[in-house]
């Protein structure tokens, strides 16, 4: 069985990653309304339990997973450890004595319980001692509704509020002011504001390196000179080349040695990742992680369409597809400052062509829009199972790279 799920990040007040919600589908052809909640939950538990560890899919962060009354009665939450799951009770589950007893039992065993798409009713007060998180869909709830919930839980300080479907920074700030603790939605993956600013000397060096490595033939001497002008970049290159992920026996001690041993593909990856990481250190690390996931996904898909796409170019286009959000500028302004080939810039600016379609494909997967995902895959003649396999591989790779790159 393939593991068909998208993971959506949940961030804390500091925009640091807190957990992921897993949005499950039985298969890409089987859009969620056609599969009931019990079956969806049982299959996600089966997949995470027996096919791939849930921690591999969530980078060791807790996974919010939807449960119905029936799947809770069957004991499915307890197939996962308390530290790796948040038991999210679907909004369709009605509060009653049976549900209350199940919540109490899970609470006593150390599980975190969340109420999904919460609509306030006084009967829920009986559950408050056992609930740790209340999720509010801010697109469906008015400010008055939210204030009513906040008033109802004021005597239960252990309950944290989670705002979901937060799509803009204005909404994030508004919910932050109201006292929400956690935030879910793609507000962090969009530019905060459009503003003009110059690139720092380090970013200019990165831009030069992006340009050099986007050439068909690498000029090792030119690349070495750029590194030698920037002490910080040189240090990061040597640390990266010597890091455990490459399992080298001998230490690398010169810039040129590091460049030769890394090789063209790995060097292009390193420079792209470092540009993303250093572009705006105030941005949430999950944004960089998403950019890396897109980069690796595009590279893997490009291998499947080998005759038409260069894998290194596909990697860079995927990485740069979020550079507007990373730098808080519109895409055209950012790309104007970067000396990149038209082959890289055009898909990002025109949203047309094969690479633009692959970027759109990964966006649909991120948002769990499986019906649209299917249409794009059919248009590109891509194998559905392989696409999901590539996405899962890209997530795992990005999680590993984020740890390594941000450490160095």
126-136 per-position pLDDT tens digit: 999 999 999 99
pLDDT-derived band of residue 32, with 50, 70 and 90 as boundaries?
Answer: very low
Chain-centroid distance of CA 377 in Å reads 21
* Closest by Cα among 55, 49, 159, 20 to 103: 159
**What pLDDT shows up at residue 147?**
94
Q: How far apart are CA 290 and CA 334, in angstroms?
A: 19
**What pLDDT shows up at residue 196?**
53
Query: Quick check: 349 pLDDT over 70?
Result: yes
Top-confidence range, 68-77, 177-186, 318-327: 177-186
**What pLDDT shows up at residue 246?**
63
**What pLDDT shows up at residue 30?**
39
Domain topology for 5-189:
TIM Barrel (3.20.20)
- Average of pLDDT values for 277-304? 85
More confident: 367 or 283: 367
**What pLDDT shows up at residue 3?**
55
Q: How far apart are CA 267 and CA 258, in angstroms?
A: 9
Query: Quick check: 42 pLDDT over 80?
Result: no
pLDDT-derived band of residue 46, with 50, 70 and 90 as boundaries?
Answer: low
What does the domain layout of the chain look like in residue ranges? 5-189, 201-407
**What pLDDT shows up at residue 133?**
97
- Average of pLDDT values for 50-73? 77
178-202 per-position pLDDT tens digit: 999 999 998 888 877 545 555 566 6
**What pLDDT shows up at residue 271?**
79
**What pLDDT shows up at residue 404?**
58
% of the chain exceeding 90 in pLDDT? 36
269-282 per-position pLDDT tens digit: 787 777 777 777 77
pLDDT-derived band of residue 251, with 50, 70 and 90 as boundaries?
Answer: low
Pick the CATH number of 201-407 from 1.10.10.10, 3.40.640.10, 3.40.50.1110, 1.10.3210.10: 1.10.3210.10
The mean of the pLDDT values for the chain is 82
């Amino acid at each position: 069985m393939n593991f068909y799920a998208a993971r959506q990040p949940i961030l804390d007040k500091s925009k640091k990653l807190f957990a992921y919600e897993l949005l499950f589908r039985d298969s890409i052809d089987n859009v969620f309304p056609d599969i009931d909640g019990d079956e969806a939950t049982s299959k996600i538990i089966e997949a995470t339990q027996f096919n791939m560890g849930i921690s591999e899919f969530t980078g060791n962060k807790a996974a919010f997973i939807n449960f119905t009354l029936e799947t809770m009665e069957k004991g499915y939450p307890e197939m996962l450890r308390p530290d790796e799951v948040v038991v999210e009770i679907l909004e369709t589950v009605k509060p009653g004595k049976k549900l209350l007893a199940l919540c109490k039992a899970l609470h006593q065993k150390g599980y975190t319980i969340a109420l999904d798409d919460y609509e306030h009713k006084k009967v829920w007060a009986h559950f408050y001692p056992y609930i740790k998180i209340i999720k509010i869909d801010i697109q469906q709830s008015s400010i008055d509704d939210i204030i009513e919930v906040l008033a109802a839980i004021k005597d239960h300080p252990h309950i944290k509020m989670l705002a979901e479907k937060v799509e803009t920074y204005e909404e994030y700030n508004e919910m932050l002011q109201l006292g929400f603790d956690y935030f879910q939605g793609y507000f962090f993956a969009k530019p905060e504001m459009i503003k003009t600013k110059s690139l720092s000397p380090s970013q200019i060096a990165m831009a030069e390196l992006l340009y050099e490595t986007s050439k068909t033939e690498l000029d090792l001497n030119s690349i070495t000179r750029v590194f030698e002008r920037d002490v910080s970049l040189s240090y990061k290159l040597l640390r990266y080349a010597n890091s455990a992920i490459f399992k080298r026996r001998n230490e690398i001690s010169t810039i040129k040695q590091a460049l030769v041993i890394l090789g063209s593909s790995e060097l292009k990856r390193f420079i792209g990742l470092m540009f993303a990481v250093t572009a705006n250190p105030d941005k949430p690390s999950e944004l960089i992680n998403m950019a890396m996931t897109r980069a690796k996904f595009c590279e893997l898909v490009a291998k499947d369409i080998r005759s038409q796409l260069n894998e290194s170019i596909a990697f860079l286009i995927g990485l740069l597809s979020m550079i507007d959000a990373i730098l808080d500028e519109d895409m055209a302004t950012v790309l104007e400052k970067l000396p990149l080939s038209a082959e890289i810039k055009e898909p990002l600016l025109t949203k047309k062509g094969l690479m633009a379609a692959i970027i759109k494909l990964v966006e649909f997967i991120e948002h769990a829009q499986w019906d649209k995902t299917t249409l794009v895959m059919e248009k590109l003649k891509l194998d559905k199972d392989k696409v999901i396999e590539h996405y899962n591989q890209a997530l795992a790779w990005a999680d590993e790279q984020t740890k390594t790159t941000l450490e160095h």
